[in-house]
Amino acid sequence: KVYTSKLCTQMHTPGFEILGGAETHFYESPERREAIAGYMAEHPESFEITEEYSDFGEGPIRRVHKKELLEFLETAYDEWIKEGGHPNGVLPATVNHHKLARYGKQLASSCQARAGEFVFDLSAVITKDTYKAAWNAAQITLTATQELARLAENYQNAGDSKNHPPGVYALVRPPGHHAQSDMCGGYCYLNNLAIAAQWLIDESVKAGKPKKVAVLDIDYHHGNGTQEMFYSVSNPLYTSLHSSLDYPYFTGSADEKGEGEGLGFNINIPLPQATTDDEYVDALEKLIKEHVVPYQPDYIVVSLGVDTFIDDPIAGFLVTTDGYPKIGDVIRRIGVPTLFVQEGGYCIEKLGVNVGGILEGYLG
Ligand code: Q9C
Ligand code: ZN
């Protein structure tokens, strides 16, 4: 089952980003969603697309994001225009790297200044409808998550382990895994997957049947946002395969293992540039065998990026279109109900078949 909305194409269309010191087109483009949705429409035997979704309100978002960030996102563009900012959208001029120091507490005097409090790079332009778009993406993801929880309950009640575990996919943009509790960056504003993982945990506790969630982040980039949000808790488990030297550069090393109660529940597996299909699948199998299966999760939530693709314009792995069904198959063999949430992947021509390949691999 695929949850999406045309709004994910129509909204949040920044005209540019800064990459390698130059102004370039915005790689996280609306065409991405069209490419994936197009592939799915051509394969109705595998995919059932739903465009309806519910609004769960601010509550589930506030479980992982700070109120201040939401207020900033809601008001930033209008304030920016009022103070003479370019209609291109909000970008920081500085980043408040003093945040943790004993000084640098002076209050932000303008939207330009506040952008430096809440945005950590130059690839998260805030346009007029960015907050609405990010909000919708989170709500679509929550709708998919609720459906997965329902399917998972039936699956468990049926008690037949030969049945295929249910899988649900949220085809959303903007993506989420770089968004931290109080900062945006890397095309991400609200962390869709983190919101969903926390919701699964909260609902299960409310129902008196606490469930464990394992995050499997297979985007090419490290999910610094998801890691930050869950660094000091043991549920969810965060696991990630990613480039050892690319963006976001300063997080994702193997020695980031979590802290306090969360110690041992943050698993980073950095991989070298030019990682191939076989190397990737081996690393994924090893990660699952050594960390995911022993955790005994009730749900898997996958940050589904296909910027690991050999022809991705901003990344450096060598995974091919043939590799993706194998990745999906490895995830299927965990045998646990799985939520897939769209993250990165920027080779428009192959985006549909690559994402579709993972999901078809999961379907078996
Ligand atoms: N040379 C996601 O895939 N620019 N975000 C990186 C690297 C930002 C990627 C430049 C990349 C963000 C969701
Ligand atoms: Zn990525």
Q: H or E stretch including 330? A: helix 323-332
198 pLDDT more than 90: yes
Tell me the best of 247, 304, 309, 354 to mutate to test the pocket of ligand 1, counting ligand atoms within 8 Å of each CB and taking the most: 247
Which candidate in 12, 65, 177, 178 is catalytic? 178
Q: What is the dihedral of CA 24, 219, 304, 260, to 10 degrees?
A: -130
Tell me which amino acid residue 121 is. Answer: D
Bridge partners, 185 (sequence order): 188
Tell me the best of 178, 222, 241, 346 to mutate to test the pocket of ligand 1, counting ligand atoms within 8 Å of each CB and taking the most: 178
Closest ligand to residue 220's CA: 2
Tell me the best of 125, 183, 188, 304 to mutate to test the pocket of ligand 1, counting ligand atoms within 8 Å of each CB and taking the most: 188
By C-alpha distance, which of 171, 76, 83, 180 is closest to 125? Answer: 76
- Give mean pLDDT, residues 201-215: 98
Measure the CA–CA gap between 227 and 242, rounded to whole angstroms: 13
pLDDT at position 161: 65
Of the listed ranges 93-102, 146-155, 177-186, the least confidently predicted one is 93-102
Ligand 1 atom showing the smallest separation from residue 121 Cα: 8
Q: Is the CB of 173 under 6 A from ligand 1?
A: no
- To the query of whether residue 178 is one of the catalytic residues in this protein, the response is yes
Mean predicted lDDT score pLDDT of the chain: 96
ipTM score above 0.90:
yes
pLDDT at position 329: 97
Of the listed ranges 94-108, 112-126, 223-237, the least confidently predicted one is 94-108
Burial of 148 (0-12, 13-18, 19+ CB in 10 A): buried
Residue nearest to atom 1 of ligand 1 (CA): 314
158 pLDDT more than 70: yes
pLDDT at position 106: 82
Digit-coded pLDDT (tens) for 19-31: 999 999 999 999 9
292 pLDDT more than 70: yes
Between 280 and 107, residue with greater pLDDT: 280
Question: Rounded to an integer, what is the distance from CA 347 to the centroid of its chain?
Answer: 17
Q: Go through the domains of the chain in sequence order and give each one's CATH number.
A: 2-66+125-363 (3.40.800.20), 67-118 (no CATH)
Measure the CA–CA gap between 151 and 142, rounded to whole angstroms: 14
Bridge partners, 2 (sequence order): 49, 169
Measure the CA–CA gap between 322 and 108, rounded to whole angstroms: 50
- How is residue 156 written in tokens? 């468990």
Q: Is the CB of 307 under 6 A from ligand 1?
A: yes
How many contiguous H segments (helices) and E segments (strands) does the chain have? 12, 10
Within 8 A by CB and 6+ apart from 338, the residues are 148, 165, 166, 167, 168, 299, 300, 301, 302, 331, 362
pLDDT at position 98: 84
Residue nearest to atom 11 of ligand 1 (CA): 186
Taking the centre of ligand 1 as the mean of its atom positions, its distance from the CA of residue 41, in whole angstroms, is 28
8 A C-beta contact, residue 310 and residue 276: no
